[in-house]
Structures are given as structure tokens and as C-alpha cells.
A and B are shown apart, each in its own frame.
Chain A
Amino acid sequence: MPREAGPAKMIQAILVFNNHGKPRLVRFYQRFPEEIQQQIVRETFHLVLKRDDNICNFLEGGSLIGGADYKLIYRHYATLYFVFCVDSSESELGILDLIQVFVETLDKCFENVCELDLIFHMDKVHYILQEVVMGGMVLETNMNEIVAQIEAQNRLEKSEGGLSAAPARAVSAVKNINLPEIPRNINIGDLNIKVPNLSQFV
């Protein structure tokens, strides 16, 4: 009864390149040799480039990945093209939303994301993408959840920053002490003096 028993239903590749076709983020979930990867990027760029902005966001006919069964679903933001190459059995509009989620998350993490962010923080971008898409499958679509994960990573990174991060750590430790709160909790009118955060000072 299954409708189609195709082997893999997934996102095959995620390509981000700028208006000049320079790759800014390339992620393949299926192994291709390096040259083929570059060829795919170039081919995709040429396919996408010649399309107007206000026609549909779906495109068939990339000859290198999988052939006719695959669709390119793309969005164009300012200087960047985000292209997802997916199996024809994925929901097209769903993928469009996913691109939007990805970009909005980038925007939240980098505060007004631009092309340079993708260059300078390539690792970060990869990590964010990993929280959205894992091995060609959609992991998480809830933006807050993704951002929370990334922030948790940032915290870990800071805590591991070693000596160079020591001053920052000191600052954040001081902030966490939360001084104004302590006097408030001491109820003078009562004999019981509560100092709930006492353990912090030990």
C-alpha cells in the first residue's frame, strides 16, 4: 500500500551562494566527489540566476543531482541564494518555510545577518544548520528551540574559552551574583534571616 518505496526521501544538498555564484555554504548529505560538488554549485547557480524574482520558487532539471526526481527549491535574499535540493516527495512549501526558518534563525543569532557573517563565522553557520537539518532530514523547526540550542553552545564555548575568556567569565560571574536581590530577601522585621543563596559564597 505504500505510495512510493523510493530509497531516500531527503534533502540532498543545501547550497548558499551569492549573486556572483561564490559558494558561501555548501552542505551535501549524499557523497559526491569534490569536483562534482563544485560542478553542482555552478550548475545550480546558472539555473537559478536566469530566473526572475517573482516567478515560482521551484525548479526542476538539475542534471547532476539525481535527475528528474529532484527539485531545487530556492529563495533569494538580498545578495544570497539559498537553494535546497530535495526529493520530489518533500512538501515544497514546507521546504520554503524551512529556508525561512533557517534564515530567520541566522538573523537572530547574528543580529542582522549579512553575507560577511557567513564568511567570518562559517563554523557557526554550520552549527546552526545542523540544528535545523541533520543528515538531510529536518531536525527542528521551532526557531526558539534552535536559538536556545545555539545559545547553549555559545555558553559552553565561553566557559571553555580558557585563559583568554577569563575576564569575560569573571564579569558574567559577578553579574550572576545578582547583588540587589540579597538585601531584599533579608527580612529585618523577622527574626529569621533568610539568605537563600548562601551556598554561592562558599
Chain B
Amino acid sequence: MRTPSRTAHRRARGLSVRVCACVVRARARGPASGARGPESARRLRAPGLLGVTAAPALFQPAAEAAPGARRCRPGVCVLLYRKHQITSGSVMLSSVSEQALSHRRAEKRLSILGQQYQSLCVHAQLMVIPHRGDFDLLSFLSPAAPQSAVLGGDKALDGYSKKKYVCKLLFIFLLGHDIDFGHMEAVNLLSSNRYTEKQIGYLFISVLVNSNSELIRLINNAIKNDLASRNPTFMGLALHCIANVGSREMAEAFAGEIPKILVAGDTMDSVKQSAALCLLRLYRTSPDLVPMGDWTSRVVHLLNDQHLGVVTAATSLITTLAQKNPEEFKTSVSLAVSRLSRIVTSASTDLQDYTYYFVPAPWLSVKLLRLLQCYPPPEDPAVRGRLTECLETILNKAQEPPKSKKVQHSNAKNAVLFEAISLIIHHDSEPNLLVRACNQLGQFLQHRETNLRYLALESMCTLASSEFSHEAVKTHIETVINALKTERDVSVRQRAVDLLYAMCDRSNAQQIVAEMLSYLETADYSIREEIVLKVAILAEKYAVDYTWYVDTILNLIRIAGDYVSEEVWYRVIQIVINRDDVQGYAAKTVFEALQAPACHENLVKVGGYILGEFGNLIAGDPRSSPLIQFNLLHSKFHLCSVPTRALLLSTYIKFVNLFPEVKATIQDVLRSDSQLKNADVELQQRAVEYLRLSTVASTDILATVLEEMPPFPERESSILAKLKKKKGPSTVTDLEESKRERSIDVNGGPEPVPASTSAASTPSPSADLLGLGAAPPAPTGPPPSSGGGLLVDVFSDSASAVAPLAPGSEDNFARFWDISSGYYPVQGFACLDFDVATQGYHMMFVWCIVEGPVALGSAACMREVA
């Protein structure tokens, strides 16, 4: 887009972005030049612009200023506008009297000018570029003086002006305006021999230039020359530029060159430092382009360098390289440990300049500890002992009274401490250190510094997953809960929720879930959904008593119904259906919950589904007789959205089967105009189909078709998948895996899962809820309980007929029911299925035509899936 040729072309036509300068001059002119054009009350909306509402009267020339008025710093004000938006006039110059101008007032005046420009151009963008005492911006960019518009090409501009203009362009860019010109000129500056010109040229390039092929070639050329120049300052500039741009083209051009500079014996320290980071940047953008070679071993030895700056840069580089090639950099471990121990044990004055507020080289210590986190604990006992000693020293230092009251001192000290704790957690091998780390974090939990509380919560999250320290972390539960209740900062509260989630196990699950539920009532909206997911997962994972689980989820829906995602209420239904012992309780509880005058739609969904399946379990109680159940559900019907209504209709037809005594009532409801003629196709169809089914089908058929849902195949919790998706895979997985090992008995025992099913299910992060997408390859056994198991017979009898008629349909059919009986010709079977998308049952009939037309009553009212 910004090829030099086009830029040049634009320049020839007059700059596409014209800059018209209003120069603050000593000589004042009359108001005439400014008072042109109708006043517009529209505000200019460009960033950096003052709104303009003042009257032109403000625009008084020099006359208003007293003769002896204070002379303020002159400013150069630039008005940018786009060429195509100009309707008349090309240049407008105005002078503003010098005396009048404080910076602020200049802005004001110019904004009025800008307002007048509105009559000329639609979008005038006014900016004030202050600059001390220079008046020739006009000659720089005004189309009236095009010959001087060229930054570098025109010899009339001296180096100072060139630098100045580039600097101005940078400022214009900073304020948020596109800079379409000047790139070429900046590139020209790169080849200057003067340091300062080169410097600003490189600055412009690294701030402004996109990967633009033609320019990049020129830039690369300039960089190549500078790298070869052996002038350390020029080399430094070039390396900075490569690191700042870090594009692939640059990697291609220089990835081979930089390692040589890095390990050359005669390279200066500052250049080495830059070269190390530059190489790191290139390795990050295009690892394939950085050749590994014998330089790697020499880089490792930079850890022993005299200059701590070089060591820091080298450590960063090695850390990244070692993550991909751990073997190649293995020797760095012992070097890093010895370097670290020298730093840690040194008195704070030993390291002179690298001591930051009495802490010796904190940044380098952090980097070294980071590097060590790429490796398992060192095997060599000597190195290992030394490292342990270092870590202990760091932990000890935390207990010492601070050497300074300044926050910087404690920050630096704790930065090292937190990194040391991360390393301890990473190694996860020294129970002693782990417990000490945990205690230290426990102290921080109550520190008055918010930052420390935040970080302590964060570190403890990772600590909680270690088996050695899990118990120790649990002792802080009260503090964490307290943090959840009292912290003023949402970032900290969020961390507290994370930690509670991480420290939860069977022993404290009830307490933690209760606390999270009560926090949920006042939680920030931004984190509610996450908390809901976490509560749902914890409740399920650590439920011993599933009635507690049901209560928890219903509470969840009551408190934060809007944030309860589909996955959560799907899951509760899956669990209730899979567990016989909780079904009656669930039915009773939802029935009671539904009696609240206002209940959340999600509760209606859960209630509808559960009563439809298990309403019979509580029908014996006269307070929850079938009719009352039905009326209760139906009283919610009109307040609900279409998907929920659809679900309720399915519940009604299930009621027809469960409670023959309410059949007539339900048929009346289905028959009403609001159902049969509903504008929504889905509702209408369900009403018609269900009504028809209830009238034509015999009780046997009804019982078969409307059979209770069979247990769901056990698979990865869809809630967990969702949380993973939300939080990014890495954080949750680690936690989960380690948890799973520890709590294997929690879930293992009571699940009524046949081994074959669980083996067949393939847990995937995107596992859909009910396993429709990846259904079992074939029905593995007779459908549960009644139903006669005829399906299998039918299926095998007419398998040859089915296959061509319903290609691929078995993918979608999780379960099959036989609806044939002696009454009807055995010609079809139905699949009653749960459709995730519409959250309702679907009757899907697959007709396998053996002979003649097929009937189940009227085929017309059934959806045919062929």
C-alpha cells in the first residue's frame, strides 16, 4: 500500500494528506484570514481534537494582546486533511499572533480555524504539534512549496529539519492518524552517516513500517551495511531495529548472521546483549529459520559472562531455546545454579549497579529461576544441593526484616521469591520446601499489599495441585473464603475463586460450594458464568450424596439462572437419569422449586424434563398429583421461550403415558388453537404430532414410544469441556489430571456405567452433550426395562431394507424403539430422540417399507426421515 512509487506519485499530485500549517509568527495579521466561511456548530471528532463551540469572536488577532503580554512558547499547529475531502481551496494559511499563545489557547484558536475548515472539507483533523521555535513546517509540507516536501531527497533540508519532521510524523501517528508519506524519506535517513539521523530513521521504521516488501528490502540493505560496519553504536541500532520489527523477511535475511555476532570474541558487551535478544526475537517469530549450530554451546557459556546485562539477555535466550531443545542446553542448568547461588549469597553491595533497592540483581535471578523451570530437578546431587540451598536462602530472606521501607524493595524481593516458589512447585519433589512455600504464601494472603495477595492466591493455585502441599494449602481455606468476601478488587476475588476451585476436594467440597454459591449472589457479572461452571463441576465431582448435588444445581439456577449455560442443566439431567437413587428426590425438589412465584426459565426446563420422566415417582402424594403437576408446569408455559415450550410439550406427551387420567386435559391443551395454529413451526408440529399420537396410539405403543430415557453413556463432562474452552486448555487440564489421580475413588465406584460403553465413548474437548454426534456404533443390547426388545429383531430382520433407505441415519439415532405390535403392520420403527439443538424430543420415523403403504395412523402428521 505504501510503496515508494505510490508515495512518489502522490507527492507529484500534491500530497494525499496535506498538511497545512498555521504558523505562529511574530507578525500578526488581521482576522480576515480566519473569519471566512460559515460557522459550523459541528464538533470535530478526530482524536486529539478540541470540540468547537466557541464563537469566532474568540479569534481575535494580535490586537487583544497587551503589548507586554508574556511571550509564551510558540507552537506550530498543523491541520491535516484528506485531499479527496476538499471541496474548494487547497491551502489555507493563517497566522496567529504570537503573544496570544499559550499552548492551550493556540489549540483553542486553531480549533476554531478547524471549524471554519469544515466548510472546506468534511473531515478536518486538527492537531497541534508543539515544537519550540520553529516556523518552517509550512515549507515542509505545504503544497504551495512542493519542492521542499521531500524530506530526504531535497538537499535544502538540513539534517536537523529531517530529524524534526520525522519526529513530527511520529507524533502525528501517536495521536492516531495514518501516516501515508515520509516512509521513503525515513528509509533514506538510515543510510546517513550521522548517528542521530540514523537513529531517528530506525525509530520511524520500527514504529511505523509494516511488512512492506519493497521498503523492507531497502531497510534490510541498510541494516546489513550497519551490521557489517563494526561500529558498535550502528550495530546496536540495527539489532534494535531487527528485534523491534521481527518480521519473517528479516529473519530470513539475518538469522544466520546474528549468532556469529553473538559469540564473536571481540563483540562489545552492549552489542552482545542486543544480539542475544535479537536472536531470541527472531527465534520466536520464525524458529525454523534460526540454525542451530556450534554457537549454542558458546551461548551457554555466556551465563558466566562478567557483564550481568549480557547474562540476563543470554538467560532469556537460553530459556526459550531450551524449551524446544532441552537436550542441547542441558549444561546450562549447572551454570545457572552456580550463577544464581553467587547472586543470592552475595551481599547486596557486591553487584553494584545491578542491585536494585538493596536486592541483588532481581531481574537476573528471576530469569535464572525461569530457566531452571525448563528442566526437572538436577540429577547431580551437588548441583541439586546447591540449588536447594539457594531456594532456602531466598525463603529465609523473605522472613528477614526489610532493608528498606520502599515498595520497590519489597517488590523486587518478592519477585524473586515468587519465582523461587514457582520453581519449587515445578520440581514438586521437596516436601519440605513445598510446605515452606505454602506457609510463605499463606502469610502473603493476609499482607496489606494487594499485589501480594493477588500473586499469593495465584501461586497457591498451582501449589494446590501438588500432592505434598495440597493439605497445607487446605489450611488456608478460611482466609481465602474471607478474601472472596472482603476483597475490593475483582482481579483478586477472581483469583480467590480459582484457588477455592483448586483446593477443593471431597472433604471440603460442601463448604466451598456453599461459599461460592453465596458469593455468586453478589459476584461481578463478568465472572459469574465461570463461577457457575466451577460450582457445577465441583458439585458433581465431589458429590457423595446426590441429593446434595441436585440441591446445589437448583440453587445455582435460582441464584444465577441467566449465567447457567446449557451445559450445566444438561448435565444435571444426565446425572439424574443415570442415577436411580436420586430420581424421586429430584422430582420432589423440582416440583417444590417450581412452586416459587417467579422461577427462572432454566428451572422450568429442568423441571419439565424431570417431571416428564419421573413425575410418577411423586404422584402418589396428593399434593403433587398428576393434575397438579401438569397445572404447575402449564402455568409457566406462557412465560417461556419457544425452545422451553417445545420441551414442555414433550413433557405433556410423556404425562399422557405416565398418567392416563390427565390425558384428556392434555389433549385439550394440545388441541387449543394456540398450539395447533401456533406461528412457530416447531411448536405447531409438536402439538399436531403429539395430539395425533395420543389419540391413535394404543397404551402399549405409547408406553414404548414414550419410554423413560435410558442412561446416558458416560463421557467427559460437557461442563468441564466448556470451562476448558473458556480458560484455555493448559490451566484446567493440568489441574484436572492431577486431581483425577487423587480422587479416582470418588467417581469410580457408584457410576452405573457398563465398561463397554465408557470404552466406546471417546472423550473429546468438543464432546457434545448426549453423544448424538458420536453415538455407539450399534445398539449394544436390548433397550432397558420394558419395550420387549423387539427392535433388535426388527432391525436384524429388515436390516437389508433399512440400510439403503436410511443411509447414515444410525449416526443420529442413539436409541431405537420398536413401535410395531400386532395391531399395526410391522413396517416401521421410530426413534425417540433428544435433540440438542431444540432441547426436546423428536419423533423420527424411519419407514422401512416392506410392502405397501405404511401407517401409524396417519403418516401425514409424522415427520418422515428417509
Contact = CB atoms under 8 A, between A and B. Distances in A.
A42 to B, nearest CB: 9
Given A61-B526, A69-B728, A137-B277, A94 B491 contact: no
A133 to B, nearest CB: 9
A160 B130 contact: no
Given A3-B373, A5-B323, A55-B489, A135 B277 contact: yes
B412 A60 contact: no
A2 interface: yes
Contacts of A23: 174-176
B451 A57 contact: yes
Interface string B452-474: 01110000000000000000000
A120 B103 CA distance: 12
B103 to A, nearest CB: 9
Interface in B200-214: 200, 203, 207, 210-211
Given A1-B326, A134-B277, A135-B278, 14 more contacts: A1-B376, A4-B323, A31-B247, A57-B451, A92-B415, A94-B362, A96-B451, A127-B199, A130-B240, A135-B242, A135-B281, A137-B277, A139-B277, A156-B195
Interface stretch (B258-266, B306-314, B735-743, B829-837): B306-314
A162 B277 contact: no
A67 to B, nearest CB: 8
B130 A96 contact: no
B426 interface: yes
A182 interface: no
23 contacts: A1-B375, A2-B326, A9-B284, A10-B281, A31-B210, A34-B176, A56-B451, A68-B727, A91-B415, A93-B455, A97-B363, A119-B171, A122-B167, A123-B200, A127-B199, A130-B203, A134-B244, A134-B274, A135-B242, A141-B312, A141-B363, A142-B309, A160-B194
Contacts of A122: 167, 170-171, 174
B353 A144 contact: yes
Contact of B488 (A9, A27, A52, A126): A52
B484 interface: no
Contacts of B47: 38
Nearest to A140: B309
Looking at B176, B178, B324, the one whose CB has the most chain A CB atoms below 10 A away is B176
Contacts of B256: none
B284 A7 contact: yes
Would you call the interface of chain A mostly helix, strand, loop, or mixed?
A: mixed
Looking at A22, A140, A164, the one whose CB has the most chain B CB atoms below 10 A away is A140
Contacts of A52: 488-489
A56 B454 contact: yes
A93 B411 contact: yes
Contacts of B370: 91
Contacts of A7: 284
Interface in A86-123: 91-94, 96-98, 100-101, 119-120, 122-123
Contact of A22 (B48, B195, B273): B48
Contact of B412 (A97, A143, A144): A97
Nearest to B203: A126
Contacts of A79: none
B366 A94 contact: yes
Interface in B359-381: 362-363, 366, 370, 373-376
A92 B455 contact: yes
Contacts of B412: 93, 97
A158 B163 CA distance: 14
Given A5-B324, A157-B195, A119 B130 contact: yes
B631 interface: no
B273 A140 contact: yes
Interface in A8-31: 8-10, 22-27, 29, 31
Contacts of A97: 356, 362-363, 408, 411-412, 415
B374 A3 contact: yes
Looking at B200, B244, B322, the one whose CB has the most chain A CB atoms below 10 A away is B244
9 closest pairs, A vs B, by CB? A135-B243, A93-B415, A55-B489, A2-B323, A56-B450, A135-B281, A141-B363, A38-B176, A94-B415
Given A56-B453, A134-B240, A142-B354, A1 B374 contact: yes
B199 to A, nearest CB: 7
Interface residues of B, number: 85
B248 to A, nearest CB: 11
A9 B247 CA distance: 16
B764 interface: no
Contacts of B181: none
A51 B130 CA distance: 32
Given A2-B374, A122-B171, A127-B199, A137 B243 contact: yes
A33 B110 CA distance: 29
B418 A91 contact: yes
B240 to A, nearest CB: 6
Interface in A50-81: 51-52, 54-61, 68-69
A91 B353 contact: no
B196 interface: yes
A197 interface: no
A20 B205 CA distance: 28
B183 to A, nearest CB: 13
A69 B178 CA distance: 30
A68 B199 contact: no
A151 interface: no
Looking at B174, B274, B284, the one whose CB has the most chain A CB atoms below 10 A away is B174
B492 interface: yes
A135 B254 CA distance: 15
Contact of A160 (B195, B356, B426): B195
B348 interface: no
A157 B163 CA distance: 12
Nearest to B417: A93
Given A97-B356, A120-B132, A127 B324 contact: no
A163 B731 CA distance: 62
Looking at B195, B273, B453, the one whose CB has the most chain A CB atoms below 10 A away is B195
Interface string B231-273: 0010000011011101100000000000000000000001001
A164 B37 CA distance: 43
Interface in B440-456: 450-451, 453-455
A127 B206 CA distance: 12
A157 B196 contact: yes
Contacts of B270: 149
B280 interface: yes
Contacts of A94: 362-363, 366, 415
Nearest to A130: B240
Given A97-B408, A145-B309, A8 B284 contact: yes
A195 interface: no
Nearest to B363: A141
A58 B491 contact: yes
Nearest to B325: A2
A24 B426 CA distance: 40
Interface string A26-47: 1101010010011001000000
B159 A162 contact: yes
Contacts of A126: 170, 203, 207
B823 interface: no
Looking at B196, B312, B326, the one whose CB has the most chain A CB atoms below 10 A away is B196
Looking at A25, A97, A119, A153, the one whose CB has the most chain B CB atoms below 10 A away is A97
A26 to B, nearest CB: 6
A92 B244 CA distance: 22
A138 interface: yes
Nearest to B173: A34
Contact of B730 (A4, A59, A100): A4
A38 B730 CA distance: 31
B722 to A, nearest CB: 14
A134 B376 CA distance: 30
Contact of B203 (A93, A127, A144): A127
A9 B242 CA distance: 17
A134 B243 contact: yes
A65 to B, nearest CB: 15
